[in-house]
Structures are given as structure tokens and as C-alpha cells.
Amino acid sequence: MTNTLGITSLTRVPVSGSVPALVTPMNIDGTLDIATLHAMVDWHIEEGTSALVVMGSTGESATLDSSEHCQMVREVVEHAAGRLPVIAGTGANSTREALELTRYAKDVGADAVLSVTPYYNRPTQEGLYQHYRKIAENVEIPLIVYNVPGRTGVDLADDTVLRLAEIPGIAGLKDATGDIARGTKLLHMLPNNFSVYSGDDETAAALMLLGAKGNISVTANVIPGLMRKLCDAARNGDVPLVRLISRKVYLLNQALFVQSNPIPVKWALARMGRMTGTLRLPLTPLGSEWESVLVRALALAGVELPAQ
């Protein structure tokens, strides 16, 4: 399959704007709900979403087995059918496994991959560098490195990011630290053709105003159209519109993390009537004490909920 982006040079990924980190719909019995997955892809395309990430942490990649992981990537790529780019999550705490997932993503036609830092085993900075270098040098697909120390227990240092940016095939960085000062420093130091994406909804607009290419988002699962408008405004430097939209979404950005992601976002989508909200253990349903918080946040963002 030829990828959507038509990239012949592997060095960069021309994706910008709102990029939802897609949730994984499940049936009541916990199996994958492919029909709903297809419907969600269609909805995001209708709402103007720029690209989709499949099998990130929001997609519960940690609770899916390898065959389900591959099925999710394949289904999204095939159903999107070139209508928007698809970025496959292929991170693992084993370099060998990350390589296998990355090869699979390329083979089925993903446009790029998103590779989280190896978690739990806490490699050194040199280990992180060699991990990503090994992947980039063995699979010809643009690779976005993903730094989210709050979930992985390891922080990809700025100096390591700068070293990685010199490797052909390493296309960009998803920065989920939420540290605007640090992000600003990286934006000034990295090559202009190296893409930086926010991975933190609360600070994404600020980072885009400073030069980030887009937002790989949890919130965009719920309000894709509004998040697209926010990202477009930030990318275009329209500060008054950024302020206006930010007032509508700030509470939702917070509410979607009152418990571990993706517990709240799946509850919100279920309350909206878009999916069942089923999770796999060890994730458990949203605590009832948080339901009113989510309802209020959805209302502020302009979401009309069906009657119960």
C-alpha cells in the first residue's frame, strides 16, 4: 500500500493540526468493536480532523495483545482509505518488539509511527538513543518519538532529542511533559523541518502558538471539530480565537484526566452515545463522584448529551 502522505524522503512528516489519539471501542464482553471503530474514523474525517493516532496509550495498547494491536492498526488504515493520514503507535519496552510493530505498520500502509520511550525498564539516555536509532535505521517509515515521563518513568532528555533529530527517518517529537519553557527551548534548538507535537491538551494551544505543528490529543476524541478549530487558530496565530475556544475547553481538558486515561474519555463517549465505554482490567469504570464533573465540562464545551 502507498501511504497517504506520499513521502519519498523519510526525514519529516507533514502533519499538522488536531490529531486525536484514538480510543479503542469495545463490545460489552471486552472484544474489539470494529463497526464502532469504523464509525469513529468516519466521524473524525467529517469533523475535519487532520490525522489519527491508533494504538497510543489512549487506545489502551497496554491491554491489547499483539494480534489485536495489529488488527486495530490495519482496520484504521484500511477504513481511512487515504482520506486522512494514520499514525500507528508502535512503542514497546523491548526494541525487538518495537521493531516488529513498526515493520507491521509500514507493511499495512500507515503513514508514520509514534514510538513511546521504553517503559518500566528505565533505559539510560544512550539506551534511548540506540533504541530509536535501531528502529529508524531498519524500517523506512517516518518515526515520531514520544516523551511522556509521567506514564513511562523515563524522561527523554533534550540533548537526546537533539541527537535523534540528526537521524534520517526520525521525523518529530510528541512532547507530553506539559512544560512550556522546555518545549520553547526545544522549538528554538531543533531543525526547522523537525516536527514538534504537543501531547498535553492543557498546554497544547500555547505550544502551537510558539511553533509546534499540532496536538496529539485526548480531548479531540470527544470534540473533534472544536479542537480542530482551536489548533487551526493557534497555528495561524489567532490569539483572540484561541482565548475564546480555550475558555470552552479548559474544564474538559482537566476533567478527562480526573482518573487514569482513558477511563474518563471512554465514559464521555459512552454518555454521548458513541460507544459502550467498556474497559479492560486493570482499568475500571469512572467513579460516580466524577460523573457530574464530566457532564459540566461537556456542556461548557458545547456538547449536547442525549437524555437518559
Active site amino acids: 146, 174
Going by C-alpha positions, the residue among 274, 87, 48 that lies closest to residue 174 is 87
**75 φψ region: left (φ > 0), alpha (ψ -120 to 50), beta (else):** alpha
Burial bucket for residue 126 (CB in 10 Å: 0-12, 13-18, 19+): exposed
All three cell numbers of 126: 544512550
Alpha helix stretches (DSSP H) within 236-262: 239-255
User: Pick from 178, 120, 121, 110: which is nearest to 144 by CA?
Assistant: 110
The C-alpha cell at 205 is 494551544
Let me know: does 295 contact 306? Beta carbons within 8 Å. no
Burial of 248 (0-12, 13-18, 19+ CB in 10 A): middle
CA distance 118 to 226: 33
Cβ contact 82:110 at 8 Å: no
Assign 95 to helix, strand or coil: helix
